[in-house]
Amino acid sequence: MAVSVSRRVREGFGAFRTATRLGWQIESNWADPLVFAIYSIIKPVAASLILVFMYLVITRGKAGTELFAYIYVGNAFYIFVGGVLFGISWAIIDDREHYEMLKYIYLSPIRIYIYLLGRGMARLFISAISVAIALSFGALLLKVPLRITAIDYPYLFAGLILGLGGVIALGIILAGVCLITARHSWGISESVAGAFYLLCGVVFPLDVLPRWAQAIGVVLPPTYWIEAMRRAALGEEVAGVSQVLGRFSNSSLLLVLLGTTAGLMFISHLFFRAAEGRARRRGLIDQRTDY
């Protein structure tokens, strides 16, 4: 029995590694490494600069305020949310519709969960590079008060692991949705990511939203994750920017994250199993819609 478990773990790890490598190849091998590096830098920097210029136009060139740092850092960490959600759910569409390999993955002895996590991992890695680039750009050129020595690393890593766990669970839920839908699969992940961008107060304090939108925002896990990342990177002073989230201490933010991530993982498991069962029953695993 012990041999069987260790063998399954070994095989699972091998499948995960292969899926991650495949995801990385799909993402990056269309260009030589230099072009890919430039591509990876331009997008996050341009997205950050949009916010920077919006801010500078209004403040007539004055950066370096607390609100500016709040907006900038929130936007930088949000790259993870879009990247991971899209990466995991898009793997279903890509493999089913484009490469037509999803049915073969189901025929192989690997677990689809592990495969999806591996494919998402490649996006996670690319997102991590983009986040690092955006934060470095902000610290070096835009006076965002990010000091390597002042970052609360234990809090940052604890929050990062919990938050990413939650986002991965959400990605699995979206992958389940993609399994049983023919159209708009791309739109579903973008809609969810867009809703989080707006309702979680990623680029503004939650307080400026109407009350009904605030009520939705405070039940969404990424709200707490992004806030935790801001506090880890900028210090606890940044908690004063939002009165709604300022009520939460650093440790209570982590507790909320822990609870919501555990809940999301459980729900994502149930949902994906149900979606998978439905897809098998209705013959959707190998459908090709050309949509």
Provide the minimum distance between the beta carbon of 194 and other proteins in the complex, in angstroms, as a whole number: 4
15, 69, 71, 162: which one binds other proteins (CB under 8 A): 71
Residues 34-63 interacting with other proteins (rule: CB under 8 A): 39, 42-43, 46-47, 49-51, 53-59
Alpha helices in the chain (DSSP H): 2-28, 33-59, 66-93, 102-107, 112-141, 153-180, 185-199, 211-217, 221-234, 243-246, 250-281
User: At how many degrees (to 10) do helices 66-93 and 112-141 cross?
Assistant: 150
Provide the minimum distance between the beta carbon of 192 and other proteins in the complex, in angstroms, as a whole number: 10
Q: Calculate the dihedral angle through the C-alpha atoms of 219, 224, 226, 231, rounding to the nearest 10 degrees.
A: 150
Question: Closest Cα to residue 95, out of 123, 80, 122, 116?
Answer: 116
Of 189 and 261, the one with the shorter C-beta distance to other proteins is 189
In the shown chain, the binding pattern of residues 81 to 100 toward other proteins, with x for contact by CB under 8 A and - for none, equals: -----------------xx-
Please report whether residue 239 would count as binding other proteins according to CB under 8 A.
no
- Here the tokens at position 134 are 């955006």
Provide the minimum distance between the beta carbon of 18 and other proteins in the complex, in angstroms, as a whole number: 20
14, 17, 31, 141: which one binds other proteins (CB under 8 A): 31
Residue at 208: amino acid letter = V
In the shown chain, the binding pattern of residues 176 to 215 toward other proteins, with x for contact by CB under 8 A and - for none, equals: -------xx--x--xx--xx-xx---xxxx--xx------
Of 31 and 161, the one with the shorter C-beta distance to other proteins is 31
Question: Closest Cα to residue 165, out of 254, 238, 270?
Answer: 254
- CB contact set of 128 (below 8 Å; sequence gap of 6+): 80
Provide the minimum distance between the beta carbon of 4 and other proteins in the complex, in angstroms, as a whole number: 38
Of 35 and 274, the one with the shorter C-beta distance to other proteins is 35
Please report whether residue 167 would count as binding other proteins according to CB under 8 A.
no
Provide the minimum distance between the beta carbon of 141 and other proteins in the complex, in angstroms, as a whole number: 15
73-108 exposure pattern, b = at least 16 Cβ within 10 A, e = fewer: bbbbbbbbbbbbbbbbbbbbbbbbbeeeebeebbee
Please report whether residue 30 would count as binding other proteins according to CB under 8 A.
yes
Applying CB under 8 A, the residues found at the interface with other proteins are: 30-31, 39, 42-43, 46-47, 49-51, 53-59, 67, 71, 98-99, 183-184, 187, 190-191, 194-195, 197-198, 202-205, 208-209, 290
